[in-house]
Amino acid sequence: MGDPYEAPSSYYSGVNSTGSALKSQLTAAMSAGHIQRNYGNFRDMSRYIDTDPNNPSNILLCYNRASVSSNWDSGSTWNREHVWPQSRQPGSASNSSTGNLGDPHALKPCNPSINSSRGNKPFGGGANTTGSYRSLGSFYFPGDMDKGDIARSLFYSDTRYAGSGLSLVNGTPSGNQMGDLESLIAWHYLDIPDEFERRRNHAVFSVTLNPLRTNNRNAYIDHPEFVWSVYVDQMNDSTLYFGDLEPADGESTIDVDLGNLLVGESLSSISLDLRKSGDDGVFYRVTPSAGITTSLDGCYQAFPIGSNGASEPMMISFDPSFTSTAGVVFGSVIVENLDVTTAGGTGNGANDGDDMVSIEMSVFNPGDASFMAGSDQDMISVDLGTIAAGGGDSMQTVEVFNIAPGGAFAAPIDIEVLSSTGDTTALTTTLGVITDLSSAGMGTFDVMLDDLAEGVYAATYTLRVYNSRSMFPGDVVVEDLTLTLTGEVAGASCTPDLNGDGVLDFFDVSAFLSAYSSGDLSVDFTDDGVLNFFDVSAFLNAYSNGCP
């Protein structure tokens, strides 16, 4: 997992069983290489292991979590609390005491008056006890922030020093016993190891963090899932799953298709419910793939005892790297039931298959429109030339391209007219909407100069480009293109001057008759596609009017 406070991979290499055999293996693992420190060492060691994360000069006390100076002042500001009271252990504590009496896993810095008020009371109150630290008759409640920490400290002492006569029992303990075990187990699942507790466990072990290190760890912080097998039974009935129906083998998969996205687009978080069946408490681990985080990330999470039918919302979030590259992108979130017991039946405890959220999306490079195929040209001017009034419209075809890179993962584009200015009655376009123009594709539309009225004309059209709205809802604008049109409609020329010398004379009449007799439509003065009397009449009318 890459957690900075996890145990070395070899530390629990010999731990692979369940029940009493598992407990014996944990005793061996936590004893191997253990450097025993004495009760006096804790006066200097606490500054390294109980460090206030917000003030390195201070430590955090148990029960009230007060932040106080780490300097030892002979117990005035803080003193040394035996989680397992020294009066309930063999022997008595002195600064030279080792074993559980001097073990930092079994000691906590504490406010002196709170320590005194707790005395040697066992811990208890049951799963439903909440709130601040306080006495509950003959029992003591450590408070919501510390109840899990206290439970795991006692599990450690009971396991590491099993041969010294220490033991945990249900109800009211006697002699060297401690309890109430039932309460401790419930608290273990209600108050899971937080970062402060995991760092403390690692600091007790690590020479990097603690010059007085012990080289041993609390297995129930590193592997809280062992508690059920060691202290309850081998038939944990927990099943974790996604969806509405519990699968027989406990293995469930939810497929989430996030659809089409653009490179660099931010993704909204999604939420799914992780469900649980079975009354037994269970620890589980959530492992997201790269670029994904969830609200249940961390070393482990837990469902408490009595949580049959419960669900936990899981918020799944994505960092920007998830959409940094075009293509089909996959991700996953895997949920692992960490319980080690196998006697609970198919799909329960260690027999519960992993659950997975499978995530898929298609990421596209944004579209890129251009008036040229080989380069990015966002402006174009089209001159429709000079035409004669009534002589027919002028028309040209304009090409537009999508030059976005990425091939199949280049977003298609839509193009439409956003606005226009100038002489838009004379200069028009047939462009309505070009839709889903693919990469390396070409769209066309016509532009026209109307021949109805004389004049010099200019118009500008702004074309709005979107990433394909059928693929990317919400009108995702890419850019605007500029189309400028110009053209002139001139007055009719003096058509009877057929030889173009600027005068009307016999030579023009001769040219007309010659063209007319040969069927040359250049003298079709009525522009009806045939030569007849009406063309002769039109020529003579123009000639007689003296058109120069």
Q: Encode pLDDT of 484-534 as tens digits.
A: 999 999 865 547 888 878 788 888 889 889 988 998 888 887 667 888 887
- No. of H helices and E strands in the chain? 10, 27
Which class for 503: exposed (0-12), middle (13-18), buried (19 or more C-beta within 10 A)? Answer: exposed
Residue 115's closest CA among 56, 147, 75, 144?
Answer: 75
pLDDT of res. 197: 98
- Domain limits, the chain: 19-231, 239-364, 369-490, 506-544
Q: What span, in angstroms and rounded, lies between the C-alpha atoms of 347 and 248? A: 6
Q: 506-517 vs 533-544: helix axis angle to the nearest 10? A: 170
Q: What is the pLDDT of residues 375-413, one digit of tens each?
A: 999 999 999 999 877 778 999 999 999 999 999 999 999
Which regions in the chain score pLDDT beneath 70? 1-2, 491-494, 526-527, 546-548
Same CATH fold, 369-490 and 239-364?
yes
Up-side HSE of residue 342: CA atoms within 13 Å toward CB? 3
Beta-strand pair 355-364/433-437: unpaired
Q: Beta partners for 273?
A: 313
pLDDT of res. 529: 80
Q: What span, in angstroms and rounded, lies between the C-alpha atoms of 338 and 224? A: 9
- Mean pLDDT over the full length of the chain: 94
pLDDT of res. 183: 98
SS3 content of the chain, % helix, strand, coil (to 5): 25, 30, 45
pLDDT of res. 374: 87
Second-level CATH architecture of 239-364: Sandwich (2.60)
pLDDT of res. 491: 64
Cα dihedral 62, 68, 69, 70 in deg (nearest 10): 10
Domain 369-490 belongs to what topology? Answer: Immunoglobulin-like (2.60.40)
Cα dihedral 321, 324, 330, 336 in deg (nearest 10): 0
CB atoms within 10 A of CB 177: 18
pLDDT of res. 237: 98
| Whether the Cβ atoms of residue 321 and residue 312 lie closer than 8 Å to each other | no
Residue 487's closest CA among 425, 408, 407?
Answer: 425
